[in-house]
Every structure is written in C-alpha cells, then in structure tokens.
C-alpha cells in the first residue's frame, strides 16, 4: 500500500468539497470515507472505528481486514500526529499502520511527528 496512492485519492476528494465547508471534522470524515473505498477496491474488508475490546486505547479510524481475525492495514487521521492515535495503532497486530495528518500549519505537524514510532508511516495531506 503506497502513501502516494492514498494521498492522491484523499486530495481528490477534499478538492471537491466547497472551501466554506472545509473544517477539520469534515476533512477527517472525508478521509475515512475515502479510505473505506480505497480498502474495498484492494480486496480488504473495511472496518471503521476498529478497537480491540481488551485495550483501553480508543479505536483506529478505519482498518482493512483480510479475514475475520487478520488486520492487514490500519489508519488514524487528525490535523496533527496525536499520541492517542499512535497508542491505538501500536496495540493492533497489523502489517501496515498509517497516521494521516492534514493541518495547514506545517510547523505544528512537523513538531507532532515526535510521537511517531517505528512501523507507523506518516502521510501528510495538505496543499496550498
């Protein structure tokens, strides 16, 4: 699963939303919707808000399963990289893990990448 393919589909969807409606919550839900289709097209079963019941951390935004028990890929998205998302991703047994950030404040995003851990890829979605 390539970052550029993910980024391209998300940017295409975000560009179609009128600027007056581009709030963080709209962008986050748009990303989740795009990822749902992205995962289905690639043969995964998308599961929004996936969370292991025995873990205190919150859910990931969406995960792609290859069968009922195997998580192939998981995603979290927020304006910046958040520690809670990193912890949620770390708790899942998944081949690929992505955190997507989309804040126009590039400096703030850059500072928040401090939370990234090995095995979690960062995709920054923003264009001027």
- Give 15-44 as a DSSP string: HTS-GGG--HHHHHHHHHHHHHHHHHHTT-
Contact assessment for residue 10 and residue 125, using Cβ atoms and an 8 Å cutoff: yes
Question: For residues 65 and 98, what is the distance between their CA atoms, to the nearest angstrom?
Answer: 15
Give the pLDDT confidence of 24-42 residue by residue, as tens digits. 999 999 999 999 999 999 9
Give the pLDDT confidence of 57-113 residue by residue, as tens digits. 899 999 999 988 899 999 999 999 999 999 999 999 999 999 999 999 999 999 999
For residue 21, CA distances in Å to 24, 44, 72, 81, 124 come to: 9, 30, 33, 22, 20
Residue 4, pLDDT > 60, answer yes
Q: pTM score, two decimals?
A: 0.92
Tell which CATH architecture fits domain 3-124.
3-Layer(aba) Sandwich (3.40)
């Amino acid at each position: 699963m390539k970052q550029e393919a993910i980024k391209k589909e998300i940017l295409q969807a975000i560009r179609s939303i009128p600027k007056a409606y581009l709030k963080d919550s709209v962008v986050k839900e748009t990303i989740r919707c795009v990822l749902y289709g992205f995962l289905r097209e690639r043969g995964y079963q998308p599961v929004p808000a996936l969370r292991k019941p025995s873990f205190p951390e919150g859910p990931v935004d969406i995960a792609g399963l290859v069968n009922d028990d195997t998580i192939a890929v998981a995603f979290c998205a927020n304006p910046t990289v958040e520690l809670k998302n990193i912890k949620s991703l770390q708790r899942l047994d998944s081949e690929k893990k992505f955190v997507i950030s989309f804040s126009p404040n590039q400096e703030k995003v850059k500072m928040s990448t401090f939370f990234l851990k090995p095995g979690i890829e960062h995709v920054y979605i923003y264009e001027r």
